[in-house]
Structure formats: C-alpha cells, structure tokens
Chain A
Amino acid sequence: MSSAPEIELSPEQRLPDWANTRPVSDRYPDIDMGPLSIEPYVSEEFFELEREKIFKKMWLYVGRAERIPNPGDYFTQVIEVVRTKKDGRFPSFIICRDHNGEVRAFRNACQHRGTTVCWDDHENWKTNNRKYFSCRFHGWVYNTDGSLKFVPDENQFCNLNKAERGLSPVQCAVWKDFIFINVDPEPRQTLEEQIKPHAELLKDFPFEKIHKRGIWTATVDVNWKVAIDAFQEGYHVNTVHAATIPEAFNGALNPNCRPTSIRLFEQGNRSVTFMVSPDFEPPETEKWIRKRGSSWYAAGGSETLNEFPGTNPDNDPFYAFDCHGFFPNMLVDPYIGGFYGHEFWPISVNKTRWIGSINFTEPEKPSDLITHEHGKTLLRDAFREDTVTLDASQVGLESGALETTVLSDGEMAPRHLYNAVMEMVNS
C-alpha cells in the first residue's frame, strides 16, 4: 500500500499549539489540578518525615567521578539532611577511589573516638589525593578501601580487632559517572531501579565525556522543594530573567515560555523540555559563539555541535534544553554541547544549600575555553536572578497569607514533585 506523500510542514506548523489548550493535564487526566496545601513547604514535622522517609532511604547524588580520576583521589561531602537527630550536627562523608580504582564512600569519622578524619572544605572543588587517611587526633591510619591499617601504640588496647574498626562504609553506586550514596544500609532499590526512567532515556548521553567548568553555590532560606520548583518551569522566565535573557525563550509562538514537553515518571521522576523563540535575534557575540560551539541554549543554532542522544524528545527544531528531575533533589539539564544541573541540599524546612553547575565537552583547543566562558557567564547570571527570588517565596509561604498554592498546566513538574513527596511521606 502506498502512503500519501508527506506534506512538508514549516517548523512553526510542526510545533504544538499552546494558545488555548492545556496539553499536559489532558494527558494526565487522573491528576487533580486543584490548589495544594502549603504545609509541606513550611512544616517542621513534615520536614522530619521527609528526612526519615525520603532522604535517609534513597540514593543521593554526591559528585561526579571526574573529581576522583586516580586511586587515592577523594573529596568530602557534608549531607545535612541525613543527620541522625533533628538538631544534630551535620555528617560528613568521604568519597574516594581506592587503590584498586573502585569508587567508595565512608562516613568521615575515626573509629577510635569518632573524630572527623578528612578536614577538607567540602565546598572546594579541588581533588585531594592520599595513599592513606590519617586521623589527626591520635594518628590512626586507614587504607583507601577503608580498612584500618595502623594504630599507634596498638599494644595498649585490649583485644582490639582492627578488622572491625575500619571506616564505616556507606552504600555507593555510580551511574554514567554520577556518584550516588545511600545511608540506608539495605537500600530498598538499586540505584538503577530508582532512576530507571532517566537511565533508560539517557543511556547513550555521553555524560562521561562532559566535565564541570562552572560551579556556583548559595545557601538560601527556602524549602528545598520551593527551590527546585524555581528551576523546573518556564513561567518565571519573562519576569525573573527580563534582564539577562529577555527574548530568548518567548516570542510570538510561545509568549509565556511554556515547556514544549512535560513527561511524568514513577517515584517523582519527571522531564521537562524547553524551546528557544524562533524570533530570537541573538546578540552579536552569541552569533559569533554559535559559529564556534554553543552557548547553553543554542537551538539549532550551533554550526559545529549536534544534539546528543536522549535529548529533544519531540524533535523540536527550536529545542533549547531538557530538565530531568531525578527525585528527590537533583536536576540534570542537557543542552546542545553539554549539560548543566542543580543539587538542592535540605538543611531545615526553610533552609537549603543550592549548587548549580555547567558542564562542557572537553576543550580541544584554547579558544574552546572562550566559547565555554560565554555559556558559563550567561547561565551564572541567570542563576543569580533565580536564587534572589527564593527567600522571598519562603517568607510569604510562612507568613499566614495563604493556605494553598495554585499551579498551572506548565507547572506540572512542581506538582509532580509535591505529589511524590506526599505519597512517600504518607506511606
């Protein structure tokens, strides 16, 4: 049977019509689109339940394998949210590559009297290297695989079994160079099971060849979910980013920066895609950059780079970037030429440590570092606009001014995150 000749549609004709429709909620008719109680954003009791039922039970991303390329390389990570007590001190973890090249994670506490072993500033990106970890209090020495190697004046201990006093290991798993740990000694799922929809979608995305070039961090007085929400919808772009990217994402076709695709997956995972405005006339430097590489949202606008596999689900000719929400607290945002992303580390119900970063393919020549700097600067400036809204959101939520929030169709990712958290906390 012969098929009818395919009609050549213009790019504008191939795009969905958002003008008067609500395409996302139509696809998920079982989702109640009504107002949401603000309790999960402001309640200390709810936050404690999130700590116990979500953060202490799930795989949490702690860093990229590129930080520890060689045996003996390590970094430390403080993870406030998995502390044992509500008002307790924040635990620290050592993530290292042992002498056999395997990635491991340990609690950063000496098994003698509990003292912190590695005192490195966890916010410093620099990688450290040691043949052994040595505690500065009494000089106990551990191998990079955590085993206890040496105890000064060992004879003074009674029946000390060194084999039982190695650094306390923590479950650790790596997916495409993303290192995750789980403080649950018997995780209910493997890492691959937890991130399954993303792992399937992104299995061929070359994360391993893309490395961190820009990292920014701020501690903001806001609930971790409110912080994530600021980055997983386009509704804020016209106002929050009016100074830095006033015309890149809106235009005649999509004046309010609606996502072009929102896909909801199980266990709170989700994926949102954004387009660049077809009307966008980039500034002169950006046009120059696109000849040499890509800025972070160049849509069909790089002359030298192609999209990586696993991106742009609808083959959108104006594709800009995706935003993959890895439940609970990570966003991974591929674009043409790399990916950027966020971590949101809850400290209390109204305090979160945010880390934003951008990653590029390895520079081949010196001028690639100039191309990369363009993307870094643009994204960083936009993040400064995003992060300034956060404290103000929490102030309003805690003020008693409102009991519910209302979320639009394009804000389905915030709603999905909220619903998943509610389901897990109430389970």
Chain B
Amino acid sequence: MTTTVTMLPPEFADLERFAEDWVHPTETERNAFRVKQSMADLDDYYVTIFPRMDALCEYIDQFSLDAMPAAAVRLLRLGQMLMEVVPATEVYRQPDVPNSLDFERFHIISPDDPIKALEN
C-alpha cells in the first residue's frame, strides 16, 4: 500500500496542486515566478485561492510566528503568493507591471520574514 505524501494539511487538499510550484519563501522568488506565468495560470490561482483565504489564515494563525510547522509555512507562502498575484489579475491584467523599470535594474533586497519554521 502506498501513501501519497502531501505538502498541505488535508483540509487544503484542493490547493495541493499549487504546493509544488507556487510556494516560495521570499518576495524576490515570488515575484520572479509570477512574471513568468500566463494570465490564464494567474487567474486560475486567484480564483482558486482567494475564496480559501479566510480558512487559510485561520489555520496558520493557530501557530506562533516562531514555531510554524512546515505545512503551515507553505500555506503562508501560498497566501503571500496571492498578494503577489492580485495586482496582475485584479488591476493591470498582465503578468508584469506595464511601463516599469525592469528587474535588471530594480533590485528587491527585502529582509526575510520574521518566522521560524519547526524542524521537519
């Protein structure tokens, strides 16, 4: 008998398909990922994740910032990825900001989030 390894808690099985590729720990990586997606994929992400955000927040807020289990951290990153995606899907309707300074010159040097993931 084989068991499937899941990356998210069972109550978020509907989001599991995003867990492999859409989880990124930093703003730089989330942004780099977002600008390479198609609008269809960004829209798909938006319509799937947004309705689940209250439940997602309720789940991750069970934990304290300095002791988050890995699955909760992944949910947090998915929530942060939604924030990265919404300007594209809700406002300017293309993957990257039109008429803007390109990333060769515009550098993201944001600090890491103040969280501590629990080991394993």
Contact = CB atoms under 8 A, between A and B. Distances in A.
Given A216-B108, A380-B108, A243 B61 contact: no
A367 B106 CA distance: 28
A124 B107 CA distance: 11
Contact of A363 (B72, B108, B114): B114
Interface string B79-99: 110111011001110000111
Given A216-B108, A367-B60, A288 B53 contact: yes
Interface centre among A126, A362, A377, A381 (most CB of B within 10 A): A377
A212 B112 CA distance: 10
Interface in B46-80: 50, 53, 56-57, 60-61, 63-65, 68, 72, 76, 79-80
A387 B61 contact: no
A219 to B, nearest CB: 7
Contacts of B91: 243-246, 283
A59 B89 CA distance: 44
A160 interface: no
A376 interface: yes
A366 B27 contact: no
A87 to B, nearest CB: 24
Interface residues of B, number: 39
Contacts of B13: none
A374 B109 CA distance: 17
A365 B76 CA distance: 11
Interface residues of A, number: 42
B76 A366 contact: yes
Given A214-B27, A366-B72, A388-B99, A374 B108 contact: no
A243 B107 contact: no
A370 interface: yes
Contact of B105 (A123, A215, A219, A370): A219
A219 B109 CA distance: 14
Contact of B84 (A213, A217, A219, A373): A373
A284 B89 CA distance: 11
A285 B50 contact: yes
Contacts of A292: 57
B82 A285 contact: yes
Given A283-B90, A366-B76, A381 B100 contact: yes
Nearest to B61: A365
A369 B109 contact: no
Interface string A356-372: 00000011011101100
Given A243-B99, A381-B87, A381-B100, A212 B111 contact: yes
B110 interface: yes
B20 interface: no
A90 interface: no
A384 interface: yes
A283 B90 CA distance: 7
Contacts of B98: 243
A177 to B, nearest CB: 15
Contacts of B82: 285, 370
A384 B50 contact: no
Interface of A: 123-126, 212-220, 240, 243-246, 283-285, 288, 292, 362-363, 365-367, 369-370, 373-374, 376-378, 380-381, 383-385, 387-388
Interface of B: 27, 31, 50, 53, 56-57, 60-61, 63-65, 68, 72, 76, 79-80, 82-84, 86-87, 90-92, 97-101, 105-111, 113-115
Given A214-B27, A380-B27, 19 more contacts: A123-B107, A124-B109, A213-B113, A215-B111, A217-B106, A240-B99, A283-B91, A365-B65, A366-B61, A366-B68, A367-B79, A370-B82, A370-B83, A373-B27, A374-B86, A376-B83, A377-B83, A381-B87, A383-B106
25 contacts: A124-B109, A125-B110, A215-B111, A217-B106, A218-B101, A218-B105, A218-B106, A244-B91, A244-B92, A283-B90, A285-B50, A285-B82, A285-B90, A365-B65, A366-B61, A367-B57, A370-B53, A373-B79, A374-B83, A376-B83, A377-B86, A378-B87, A381-B97, A383-B106, A384-B106
